[in-house]
Every structure is written in structure tokens, then in C-alpha cells.
Structure 1
């Protein structure tokens, strides 16, 4: 029997998804998509928003002040992300779908309110609270899909789910290309209020996973955070925290500064301001498409060679592409095209986040899974907030964003030495 026939036979043998699993996945995917759109809106409207709000706050809108204020506000946003670990214990106690809807509602409302900002302080507060909501969505969506999909499908389900976040990047870029260019940054933030509808649908239409219901009927721990930091889980919890921290530092440094870098390169190439903004939106769209491809390629690779080797490959790709884009192409006399080409590579290997959607649920039992997922992702965001602040200071001090961002590639090299300490879960079923 040839390989094509074998693959078709295996595909036919996969467990079919029922209506609840399909609706639940699309609810989680839509929330994750709008989460990605919401979080990336800020990167796209950073310069015009701060150019308007800084003078109203008593500061000159110089490039240096815009860069520093942008980094401080993004650091606040990441601190909000870090505080999102509160959603994990709530989800382990009250269920995945209710708390998932709560995260979507929170980030949607406060993103919409950001459109009403009169100064940088108000914008910072709104982005901080939106960050608390956005930060919880990934942990709860990833946990829900892992628990609700059948064992033979949940690995690809993780890859499919992760594409939503970067589809959100693409959606944000498309909105910026149309709404942002014509109606400004306030209109962009208003579009972030749309996910309220998704939150209501999730709450009304999506059922809890059977695994959570069984765990809830059993002996769920009263203090899941204490358990994941206890002897049974301590090592894997801290190793996962370290690896997620590295992924967050590198990808967010590249993604947040990518639009500004493209605008600078486009302006240097002689483009008008409007054309430069459109070019940044197109580049962001390309980055998003590449990351979606990276997410889809990851689960089959992880099933073939294992979780740890797959993450190592993606980390090497991130290190090389960040250094190539920001350390080399950004400084070329005609660097716009090479920089965008490197962005595609960076985007593909940025799909490493799909591995965590697949891998983290495999490392923890159902009764503590959401808490563990939320804690590990939140820890990385706290550290990422500090690194982002230092990065902004470095950009201000060095009067360039290329070298400081390029140096974040070092984090991925460090990650290669941490990966061996993580558990290999290839071939194992999701623990109950």
C-alpha cells in the first residue's frame, strides 16, 4: 500500500468531532484571534497615538520620548498580562468556558475605552486592564481545546488554535491599512470592543469539557497554585516558565518594534508617511501569514521528532532571524526588502508558541492544568515587562532600535541550554 493511501486511511480513522467540540473550538479560536488583533493594535498605532497624547500630558512628542513612553506603556500592558494568572485558579474552580468569556469581555471593553484617552496616563490604565484580560485568554483557550478534543486530534488542535492569534495580527494589519489610515488610532481601538459579542456566544453556546467536569466531581485541590509549585510539579513548572519567558522576550521585541522599523526603513527609502504606514501594515500581514504557517508545521514535527527537539529548532530560527532582521538588514542602505524577507523567517519560527499550547497541557493533570498554564505564561510576561522597559531605555540611549532588539536573540541561545531539563511527552496521552 502506498504512502498516499496510508495517509488517507489514517485520516479516515481519526475520531470525528461532535458539535460541541466544533463550536467550542471556533469560540476559543475566535477569542484568540480577536485577542491577537487587540494586542497588536497597540503596536500599529503606537506612534500616532503617542504623538497626539504626549503634548497633552506635558511632554514633547520627540522620537525619543515616543519610544520611551511606548516602551513604558507596553511594559504596563505586560504587567497586566502577568497578573492574568488569576484566571487560572478561577478556571480550575468554576470551569473553562465561563472564565474564558470573562477574559474576552475584559480585554474588549478596556480596549474600546482606550479610544477615549485624553492623555498617556489614561491610555496606560486602559491598556493595563486590557492586558489582564488578554493574558488569560491563551491559557484558557489552550486548556479547553486540549481537554475537549479527542486524543488523536488535540495535537493538531493546538496548532490550529495558535493560528488564531496571528490571524488576529493579520486582521489588525488589515484594519490599520483601511480604518487606521483613514480614521486614525482612536477608531482602531474602538474596533477592539467587537469581541464582547464573542464573549457572550462563548458563555451561551460552549459546553464545559468532560475532563474538567470529571475532575470537579472528584477531589480538585483548593490551592492549585501551591500544588504546581510543590515537589510533584516544581521542576517542570519553572522550566516551562523559563522557556515561555524566552519566547515572549524575543517574539514581542520583534513584533512590537517591527512596524516602527518598517516605517523608518520605508521613510528612509523616500516613501511618504501614508505609504510608509501602509507598507508597515503589509509587512505585518506577511509576518502573520508566516507565523500561521509555522504554527501548522509544528505539531506534525513535534509528533515526529519530539517536543524538545522541535522547540530547539524553532529557537535557533528565532535567534538567527532576529539578528538578521534587526542587526543586519535594518542597517543596510536599501534595507527595506531584506528586512521584510527576514520578517517572513522570523514569523515562521515565531510559531514556537504553538508548541506550548500542545506541550503545557500534557505536563499537568486536569485539576491544576489551567492554573499551571496561566502561571507559566504570566511569569514570562512579568519578566518580559522588565526586559521591554530596558529595551526602551536602550533604544533611547543608543538612538536606534536595531541593535537593542537584535540582542534579544541571545535569549534564544540561552533557551537551548534550558530545553534539556523539560520533560519529553511525545507519545503520551493527556493526563487526567
Structure 2
């Protein structure tokens, strides 16, 4: 009875957050939200943008060319994401907040410039550079929140932070439902320039994390990228890279192709073009809400049963949901409603990304934490770029969207065999 009372009192006496910690979290969360919005804008406006720009670039705007060009541009965007590992060593050297603001500036400015594209080449360049900025935001936001928040609050902080990305999906869907339908794809890209304001607020209002300042004052200068590849960290670095790669494959297979799948199913059901686009926006909103719920449910589960078991549950859920939606519901005669229902399940287990925001900082010391986070996420994006290109080629070759995407469920099955090689950090404090 006494132990229960003690546990209840500890729960009630959580360390209060100071003004800087609160401002820092909301700056990181807003950046991650607008990051998610920016990422998903491209998926929503892909068809209208390429339909206009392909003829200006000397190519016919056939469905096949739109699909192929879209896959190539998206792969280029993911390569930009992959190159974002450069932000990690910068953050370990110069601090979290300055470099976090730099990532937000980069993706915001070049997303806005995408609205001025005259051909597919310009669009590709802008999306590539925006990808470099977007890719760094998660690593730095996750590192900052883990270091700045008190030990008894940071685990839920990771879940709260990850909801931002999917709130961005929801925001993109809402903008597409209103701005996109009425003002077109260029207006959608212009909305992506808004995060510049957030970057300015981060620079002006958010203090550097005390953990980084202490490490900076006491650490002999090392090469963090070399260190995470050294004997002390090599295994956990590569295991984290593989697990993140699997998660990224699932995210982009499910989330990026979801609007196209819904539009196809809605059109098949007899809806007009604008109604089909609105339906896709509503379905994306549902997917986003479900993922936010999955992010919030994850930290308590990870604290109860451990990081590895939690990830295994979420990976298994992703495999089942991808097969259920793209492999089964997509091919039903009246598949729109079942497909949308499966999207809720897909979204919930897509919240597996919240575990990495919680788990990765626990595996590395402060002096190399941002580098490790950025490298592991970047590695997955390089592989994801290749998988996305192969998916586009498979869709073109098989003349169907469902089966190629459904096959990505196999990646999560492989992941179940990789998880045991990762370290279990439940109950451990963030290493200094």
C-alpha cells in the first residue's frame, strides 16, 4: 500500500517546466508541425503541379509520365532529406537552437520558392534543398526536447513532439481542402514559407539546453560521426539505422500514396474530381488524427513494457494495416469505405516514429547525440528514396497502385527480427 502511495505522489510531483522549456518545446513542435505540412503538401499537389509543368518541360502530361516524374522528384526530395545529416555535427558543435532555426529557414524558404517553378527541373531543385532542411528538423527538435525537459517529463515530451508532424499532415489536408481546391498548387507551396516566423521565434525566445552547454564546456573536441561508428556505438548506430529505414519505408508507402489511392477509389465510386480531392483531404485528416493518437499512446506503453516490445507491436500493426488497406480494401468493388477505415489503423501504428524521438536520445551521449540522431534518420531516407523510385517503377509496370505498396509490409516483418539486437533503455536516465 505504501509503495502505491509513493508512486502516486511521485506521479503528482512531476517537475514543473520553466518558461524557456515551454517556449522551446512549442518552437520545436511548431517547426515539426510545419515540417510535416511541408512534406505532405507535395503529395497532395503532385498531380496538378506536374500536369502543368511537364508540358513546359517538353513532356506530355500523361498519367504514366506524371507518375514517373512524381516518383523521381520525390526520390530527389528524399535524397535531400538524406543529406540532412550535415546538421547533426553542426548542432553538436554550435548548439541545438541556432541550427534548429537554420533547418526551419531552409525548408521554409525553398518550399515557398517552389511556387515560382516554371518547369519540373526548377521544382526538383527547390524540393531537393527543402528536403535538406526538413530532414534536419526532426533530429534537432527531438534532441533539444530530450535534453531540455526534466528526466521525469522528457518521455511524454517525445510523444507530444511527434504529434506535431502528423498535425502538419492534418494542416496540409485542411489547406488543400480550402486553399488548394480554390487557388491551386502554387498557393499551397506559398503557405510552406510560413515557418520562417517560427525560426525567428526559436532564435529569439529559446535558450540552449543546459546539457549541451555543460557537455560543450567539459568535452575535448572530437569527431562525432567517427565516434558513433567506433566500437562503443557501432552496433546500436546500425541497428537504429535499419529500424528507422523500415519505419520510413512504411510512412512514405502508406502516407504518400494514400491520397492517390483515395482519389482513385472515390473516382471509381462515381465522385466528381473536386469531390474526390476533398475526400482525399478528409481521409488524410483521419489518418493524421489516428497517428497523433498512436504517438500519445506510445510513451506510456514503452514505459510499461519496454522500448523493444512496443516497437514490435507497432511494426506488426503497420504490416497488417498496409496489407489490409492497399492489398485488400483497395481491390474491393466498393472499397472506398473499407480503405478509409483501414487508414485509421495504419495511422495509429504509424505513430511508431514517436518511439525513435524517445529512444534514440537515450542511446547516445550528449556530445554525439544530435549527430547520431541525424545520421540514423538520414540513412533511412537514402534507402527510402531508392525504395520510392522502385515503387514508382512497379506501379508503372504493374498498372496498379495497391500491390506494390502492400508489399512494403514485408519490411516490417523483417524489422521484427532486427528489434532484438537493439539496446533496451527502459528505466535509464538520459546519458550525459
**Cα displacement string for residues 371-427 of structure 1 (whole angstroms, at most 9, x for unaligned residues):** 000000000000000010000000000011110000000000000000000000000
**Cα displacement string for residues 44-88 of structure 1 (whole angstroms, at most 9, x for unaligned residues):** 001111111111111111111111111100000000000000000
**Cα displacement string for residues 3-31 of structure 1 (whole angstroms, at most 9, x for unaligned residues):** 99888644421111111110100000000
Question: Whole-Å Cα distance in 1 between the matches of residues 123 and 177 of structure 2?
Answer: 22
Instruction: Verify the 8 A CA contact 1:319 1:412 in the aligned structure 2.
Output: yes
Q: What is aligned with 2:279?
A: 279
Question: Whole-Å Cα distance in 2 between the matches of residues 406 and 269 of structure 1?
Answer: 22
Q: What is aligned with 1:229?
A: 229
Question: Whole-Å Cα distance in 2 between the matches of residues 148 and 284 of structure 1?
Answer: 32
Alpha-carbon distance, 1:360 to partner: 0.1
Unaligned runs of 5+ residues in structure 1 are: none
Q: What is aligned with 2:220?
A: 220
Question: Whole-Å Cα distance in 1 between the matches of residues 410 and 220 of structure 2?
Answer: 40
State the secondary structure of the residue aligned to 2:91. helix
**Cα displacement string for residues 221-279 of structure 1 (whole angstroms, at most 9, x for unaligned residues):** 43100000000000000000000000001111110000000000000000000000000
Question: Whole-Å Cα distance in 2 between the matches of residues 159 and 3 of structure 1?
Answer: 27
The answer to which of 372-381 and 212-221 deviates more is 212-221
Instruction: Call closer, same or farther: CA 1:4–1:185 in 2, change over 3 Å.
Output: farther
Question: Whole-Å Cα distance in 2 between the matches of residues 80 and 223 of structure 1?
Answer: 23
Instruction: Call closer, same or farther: CA 1:4–1:110 in 2, change over 3 Å.
Output: farther
Instruction: Verify the 8 A CA contact 1:220 1:367 in the aligned structure 2.
Output: no
What are the residue-to-residue correspondences of 1:401-420 with 2, within 5 Å? 401-420=401-420
Question: Whole-Å Cα distance in 2 between the matches of residues 143 and 363 of structure 1?
Answer: 12
**Cα displacement string for residues 347-366 of structure 1 (whole angstroms, at most 9, x for unaligned residues):** 00000000000000000000
State the secondary structure of the residue aligned to 2:394. helix
- In the alignment, does 2:30 pair up with 1:48? no
Aligned residues: 432
Question: Whole-Å Cα distance in 2 between the matches of residues 61 and 287 of structure 1?
Answer: 29
RMSD, aligned α-carbons: 1.3
Instruction: Verify the 8 A CA contact 1:64 1:399 in the aligned structure 2.
Output: no
Question: Whole-Å Cα distance in 1 between the matches of residues 63 and 3 of structure 2?
Answer: 57
The answer to which of 215-224 and 181-190 deviates more is 215-224
Unaligned runs of 5+ residues in structure 2 are: none
Instruction: Call closer, same or farther: CA 1:297–1:190 in 2, change over 3 Å.
Output: same
Question: Whole-Å Cα distance in 2 between the matches of residues 268 and 217 of structure 1?
Answer: 63
What are the residue-to-residue correspondences of 1:247-396 with 2, within 5 Å? 247-396=247-396
Question: Whole-Å Cα distance in 1 between the matches of residues 138 and 112 of structure 2?
Answer: 20
Instruction: Call closer, same or farther: CA 1:46–1:5 in 2, change over 3 Å.
Output: farther
Instruction: Verify the 8 A CA contact 1:104 1:137 in the aligned structure 2.
Output: yes
Instruction: Call closer, same or farther: CA 1:260–1:305 in 2, change over 3 Å.
Output: same
Question: Whole-Å Cα distance in 2 between the matches of residues 25 and 233 of structure 1?
Answer: 28
Alpha-carbon distance, 1:151 to partner: 0.4
Q: What is aligned with 1:5?
A: 5
Instruction: Call closer, same or farther: CA 1:404–1:3 in 2, change over 3 Å.
Output: farther
Instruction: Call closer, same or farther: CA 1:51–1:6 in 2, change over 3 Å.
Output: farther
Instruction: Verify the 8 A CA contact 1:91 1:371 in the aligned structure 2.
Output: yes
**Cα displacement string for residues 101-148 of structure 1 (whole angstroms, at most 9, x for unaligned residues):** 000000000000000001111100000000000000000000000000
Question: Whole-Å Cα distance in 2 between the matches of residues 394 and 157 of structure 1?
Answer: 39
Question: Whole-Å Cα distance in 1 between the matches of residues 116 and 7 of structure 2?
Answer: 54
Instruction: Verify the 8 A CA contact 1:329 1:338 in the aligned structure 2.
Output: yes
Alpha-carbon distance, 1:219 to partner: 1.4
Question: Whole-Å Cα distance in 2 between the matches of residues 404 and 37 of structure 1?
Answer: 25
State the secondary structure of the residue aligned to 1:400. coil
Alpha-carbon distance, 1:220 to partner: 4.6
State the secondary structure of the residue aligned to 2:309. helix
State the secondary structure of the residue aligned to 2:116. coil
Instruction: Verify the 8 A CA contact 1:221 1:367 in the aligned structure 2.
Output: no
Q: Using structure 2 for the length normalisation, give the TM-score.
A: 0.98
Alpha-carbon distance, 1:301 to partner: 0.2
Question: Whole-Å Cα distance in 2 between the matches of residues 59 and 257 of structure 1?
Answer: 23
